[in-house]
Structure 1
Amino acid sequence: MTVLPNNLVFRSITGPEELELFNRLPYVQNDELADDLARGRRRPSWMWMALDGDRLLARLSWWCRPQDDAPFLLDLIDVDDSAHDVDRCAVAEQLLRTANAALFPDGVPVAQGTPPPEFLRFVPADWRADESTRRMVEDRVRAVERSGAVPLVERLRYEWFAGYPVPRPSDRLRFRGIESTEDILGLMARALDGTLDAHDRLDLQERSAEEVAAANFADEFANYDTPRTWWRVATLPDGEPVGFVIPARNAYHPIIAYIAVLPEHRGHGYIDDLLAEGTRVLAEEGVPNIRAATDVGNVPMAKAFERAGYDTISAVVNLTWEK
């Protein structure tokens, strides 16, 4: 087996005109790439290929949110799984190292010296059950690990479709809108106590709950252009907050962006009421579908999605570079 062909070329795409070449390797996101480029969520200099003559052996791409000036995620690394004459992991690893060196010559993506953007990969929910699928996922993960990344978390993705029964909250709770940014920030900070979310747990190692909540809000929720009147706070009949749910729409789909029960009210099944209310809000807006996700380790949330009639559509493998 040849580890790396002698004439292997690593380079970024020249522009949208090379998307057909870039998309020769199949992946669930291929249909989104043209729009991502047009809207600035991807840039040609962030989309790299490993070429053996006219043969595409590997590719990668970073992605960003509208408010970002630098890559936010490394969300696409692919290799040609039919290429048995080369070390596919070695090709993907070298592609990542070459692209990193070109894009981040100082070794970091931004001036503040933060680690490289997190890596994620959409995979089948049962990807370990099939040998060929497992090998495909492990090849890509191994290439990223060889560049210094470590596993962070695996998540499950869910989807509800219009036409499915709309879950209804029980009569145990009342729902109100948010009163102010300070109102939702306070609830978000309280909900971080005992959180099962791996990203939040990692952030809480270095920052207070109030700081993590503020950063989460500024990085994501403050940037949604859907109405904040969709956001709902659940209370007991006497007005005491129990939790909250943030229905919204990101750049691709209507979503349940955030859902949480406050620590003192956990264990009573209120998560079902919150999810039902968030689903109802979006369903009444006439959305065709609703996406959501949770960590594999967050079993209560996963079971709530299943009870509410959400389908499990895939898993997501996340790796990160240690600070």
Structure 2
Amino acid sequence: MYTIRPIFPHELDMFSAISTPVHRQSSIRAYLEQMFEKGAMRPDWCFVLEKEGTGIGRVAFWTLPGKASPLDIFLLDLPWDDAHCSQLADLLWQRLLLTCRETGVTQLGYVLDSPAAAPQWQENRKERKHILSKLGFELQRETSRFEWNSENGIAPFALMPAPDAGIVYRSLTEVGEDAFLDAIMRGSTSTLDRLIAKERAEHGPLAQAREIFQGLQSMSYEPDWWELAYAPDERVIGFILPTKSPTFATIGYIGVLPDFRGRGYVDQLLNRGVSTLVQAGEKFIRADTDLCNHPMAKAFLRAGFHQFAERSEYRSSLLL
């Protein structure tokens, strides 16, 4: 007899222990408590799959703090070796769809990282990909993941040029939203990011730029962190939009306009973005870039980042 139900707040230990070795359970519980406190997760968004009262699977929803509906699936764990795993995934999915209907969700995302790491520990990669495909999730993007951590003793900007005194930086407060939307539109021209190129072609440059901008606005940032870089002749060189997610600081979005590419300006912008976050007290910064965007990956390495994972981003458009 299988049942699926949301957990109660006092069941965090049980939920953290499902399909998880003992030495990893504390990190999962700590993450859940942090997300509950920030408003990115809720106990009634955490579901346990039980067989005769014993937890054998789990799944949870995640969102950005302040949002009332889920954005992504998190902590998807099933009895991967069970002959009935596919059917159990269907049962779990139907329960998730009920919550999606109740909250008006029409799309859900899921990210699959390699190698497996905290807090999700996504082992059984082959089985996960099979279940995602069966449930209607489509692969949207593949990225390399980079991080900079001051505690590792990595010197930031070790291989980067000194700041260019000819560049003038103007913040969002100074130039306004329209100037940023225009720069993002122009910056997405001939982009090496396949998802951005796809969305630009499908929805148009302005809609795609606005989606990026508003998505970043859902995160934590200060308006003076977001800057456009100008050449001495007042032409826009590029943009940098550092932000903070619920768990780490991130470069957010960075771009150099086509006329200025290949001249090292990406290093200047990345230097500026990292410096902004460091001055705000951040000691841990992450960033993703499309697997095809080799110039950006090299820029991260020059800035003292190191690659720690690859990520596959999936999305399902729900037929509710």
Give the TM-score taking structure 2 as reference length. 0.83
Secondary structure class of the residue paired with 2:140: strand
Deviations 1:89-131 (A, max 9, x none): 425522432323422359xx627xx4x31221233189xxxxx
1:78 touches 1:92 (CA, 8 Å); kept in 2?
no
Q: 1:214 to 1:321 in 2, by over 3 A?
A: same
Q: How far apart, CA to CA, are the structure 2 residues paired with 1:69 and 1:266?
A: 40
In structure 1, the residue corresponding to 2:69 is in which secondary structure? coil
Distance in 2 separating the partners of 1:251 and 1:322: 25
Instruction: Map Cα deviations across residues 67-97 of structure 1 (whole Å, 9 max, x no partner).
Output: 422111123312345xx4x236425522432
- 1:255–1:290: 8 Å Cα contact kept in structure 2? yes
Match of 1:46 in 2: 45
**Matched residue, 1:59:** 58
Q: What is aligned with 1:4? A: none
Structure 1 position 198 matched with structure 2 position 194: yes
Aligned residues between the structures: 301
Secondary structure of 1:104's counterpart equals helix
Mapping 1:119-134, distance limit 5 Å: 119-124=110-115
Identity among equivalent pairs (%): 26
Question: For 2:233, what is the secondary structure of its paired residue?
Answer: coil
Structure 1: which 5+ residue stretches go unaligned? 1-6, 127-132
Q: Does 1:9 align with 2:3?
A: yes
What displacement does 1:29 show? 5.3
SS in 2 for 1:87: coil
Aligned match of 1:130: none
Q: Which sits farther off after the overlay, 255-264 or 19-28?
A: 19-28
d(CA) in 2 for partners of 1:244, 1:171: 15
Is contact 2:108-2:317 (8 Å) kept? no
**CA–CA distance in structure 1, aligned partners of residues 225 and 161 of structure 2:** 15
Distance 2:59 2:206 in 1: 35
CA contact (8 A) 1:63 1:73 kept: yes
User: Which residue in the other structure is 1:219 paired with?
Assistant: 215
Q: Verify the 8 A CA contact 1:93 1:144 in the aligned structure 2.
A: no
Q: Distance in 1 between matches of 2:248 and 2:261?
A: 29
TM-score (norm: length of structure 1): 0.82
Deviation of residue 311 (structure 1)?
1.7
Quote the RMSD (CA, aligned, Å). Answer: 2.7
Higher helix share: 2
Tell me, in whole angstroms, the C-alpha distance in 1 between the residues paired with 2:167 and 2:84.
55
Indicate whether 1:72 and 2:71 are aligned.
yes
Shift of 1:52: 2.1
Structure 2: runs of 5+ lacking an equivalent: none
